[in-house]
Amino acid sequence: MFDVVVIGAGPGGAQAALAFSERGRSVALLDSRHDIGNKLCTGIVSTECAEEYSVPQDLRKFSANGATVHTPSGRSIVIRRNESQAIAIDREKFVRGVATAAENSGTQLMLGFRATGIVINKFGVRVTASSNGRTEVIEARSVVLATGFQAPLADQIGLDTPNTIGLAAQVEIETDDVATVQVYARRYLPQTSFGWISPTGPGTAHIGLLGREHPVSALQGFTDGLEQDGFKYKVLSRPRYWGVPLRASRRSYGYRCLAVGDAAGQIKPTTGGGIYYAMKAGDMAAQTLDDALARDDFSTGRLKKYEEHWKSLLGKELRLGYMARLFYERLTDAELDRILLAADDSGILDGDVSFDHHSVLITKALKSSLFMSVLSAVPGVAARLALSR
């Protein structure tokens, strides 16, 4: 019997397995795929994340010192910093490296195993998994669910899944027209969406978007608009689409079980980024369950400490980020244009702005008298935001 079985070898699951193994715990890490890490994602992390989790230099493909924001009317706001703010990494190789490090520390890595059922009782956890037509039963004292959002397994063990979902799309391109990250605030896009052109290395980039509208038509309209604007590129892959949880789950713990990453909605509602948050949650899950293992106490009262821990670190970010997203979605193009330009003129965008902690910028904006004066002049915004909660 393992101390813990981790289901899902993405950033959060792989990091949790590594943290468990480094504590001397016996771990099984399952994933239905063999190409772990190959999830749709921009692959952009903060410099803080890259340093904390030791992303190898050869996996750092592009470093961004700033971004250009394109307003709905076509005005451009250039944000520059003296130091790197974000790094595009080879996500697949990085996640595989974390999983390999866990394996080297003692984790039993079981790729190609799809977990189909979980039974939890007072004796432990039984996970049923299938691989190439055969069925395996993995027994453990506890389980970490890192399978992504809306997983059927969560229902089986009484965990809540995120119910507020965004829709994303992305295509890989070849281009020489992008020197830094380009953010499109509604330009060429539906009301709930924002888009990006994100360099991934010399001569390559991603065109992508996140919103609530149908991603196929939204991406087509976005690329059509970019082409009409003179942006030149060559498509290197077929467009890919995926769902993104925009709001944290109501409960990420239960008897003998915890959820991390997308399974718990630990993702930035503003941008849809989640690598850093998932890995931090993986560390916190290992810390909480290691204590539970030592005490042989897997009660919800003890495992609730995991949720208290991650919410103390990330809860404010997720709450304010979600409110900022609702605010963005309910502005007209003219209102959004006016607010973005006012934010630029007022200096709100100057100085350090954390890539992973957007609450700093949101709070700074709320405290700005100039920003608030512009906001108060925009009719109906507060009422529309209140009705949307």
Instruction: Look at residue 387 in the predicted model and tell me its pLDDT.
Output: 45
**Domain-located, residue 225:** yes
Q: What is the pLDDT along the chain (389 residues), one digit of tens a residue?
A: 999 999 999 999 999 999 999 999 999 999 999 888 777 777 889 888 999 999 999 999 888 888 899 999 999 998 887 777 788 899 999 999 999 999 999 999 999 999 999 999 999 999 999 999 899 999 999 999 999 876 789 988 989 888 888 999 999 999 998 888 999 999 999 999 999 999 888 899 999 999 999 999 999 999 999 999 999 999 999 999 988 999 998 899 999 999 999 999 999 988 888 899 999 999 999 999 999 999 999 999 999 999 999 999 999 889 888 988 988 898 899 989 988 888 888 776 766 556 656 656 666 666 666 556 555 655 555 554 444 44
**Domain-located, residue 361:** yes
- CA angle, corner 262, sides to 256 and 267, nearest 5? 125
Q: For residues 212 and 192, is the Cβ–Cβ distance under 8 A?
A: yes
Which of 263, 291, 321 is the C-terminal boundary of a domain? Answer: 321
Q: Which two tokens stand for residue 58?
A: 């050869």
3-state secondary structure of 337: helix
Instruction: Look at residue 99 in the predicted model and tell me its pLDDT.
Output: 97
DSSP 264: G
H or E element in which residue 70 lies: strand 66-70
Q: Is 281 left (phi over 0), alpha (psi -120 to 50) or beta?
A: alpha
Residue span of the structural domain in which 170 resides: 165-245
Q: Which two tokens stand for residue 130?
A: 């299938």
- Beta sheet of 124-131, edge-to-edge order: 114-121, 124-131, 134-140
Clarify whether residues 301 and 265 are in a common domain.
yes
Q: Nearest CA to 254 among 158, 120, 380, 374? A: 158
Given the DSSP bridges, would you call strands 234-235 and 165-174 parallel, antiparallel or unpaired? antiparallel
Instruction: Give the chain's domain count.
Output: 3
Q: Which residue carries 């789950």 as its tokens?
A: 249
**Domain-located, residue 178:** yes
Which of 214, 245, 276 is the C-terminal boundary of a domain? Answer: 245
Q: Which two tokens stand for residue 363?
A: 């709070």
Clarify whether residues 107 and 21 are in a common domain.
yes
Torsion of CA 89, 48, 95, 160, to 10 degrees: -120
Q: For residues 139 and 214, is the Cβ–Cβ distance under 8 A?
A: no
Q: For residues 346 and 340, is the Cβ–Cβ distance under 8 A?
A: no
Clarify whether residues 101 and 154 are in a common domain.
yes
Clarify whether residues 271 and 302 are in a common domain.
yes
Burial of 336-352, coded b for 16+ CB within 10 Å and e otherwise, reads bbbbbebbbebebbeee
Q: Nearest CA to 20 among 349, 287, 262, 278? A: 287
Clarify whether residues 33 and 127 are in a common domain.
yes
Q: Which two tokens stand for residue 153?
A: 């397994």
Clarify whether residues 97 and 135 are in a common domain.
yes
Given the DSSP bridges, would you call strands 44-46 and 86-89 parallel, antiparallel or unpaired? antiparallel
Q: Nearest CA to 244 among 215, 272, 212? A: 272
- Beta sheet of 44-46, edge-to-edge order: 44-46, 86-89, 60-64
Distance of CA 335 to CAs 27, 313, 343, Å? 52, 32, 12
CA pair distance 202, 17, nearest whole angstrom = 34
Q: Which two tokens stand for residue 219?
A: 């991406």
Strands (E), 233-280: 234-235, 240-245, 253-254, 257-259
**Domain-located, residue 264:** yes
Q: Which two tokens stand for residue 105?
A: 């520390």
Which of 294, 321, 348 is the C-terminal boundary of a domain? Answer: 321
CA pair distance 313, 52, nearest whole angstrom = 16
Clarify whether residues 8 and 96 are in a common domain.
yes
Q: Give Cβ neighbours of residue 343 (< 8 Å, ≥ 6 apart).
A: 349, 365, 368, 371
Q: Which two tokens stand for residue 280?
A: 């931090």
Clarify whether residues 169 and 187 are in a common domain.
yes
**Domain-located, residue 45:** no
Clarify whether residues 153 and 181 are in a common domain.
no
**Domain-located, residue 354:** yes
**Domain-located, residue 64:** no
**Domain-located, residue 49:** no
Clarify whether residues 239 and 186 are in a common domain.
yes
Instruction: State pTM to two decimals.
Output: 0.90
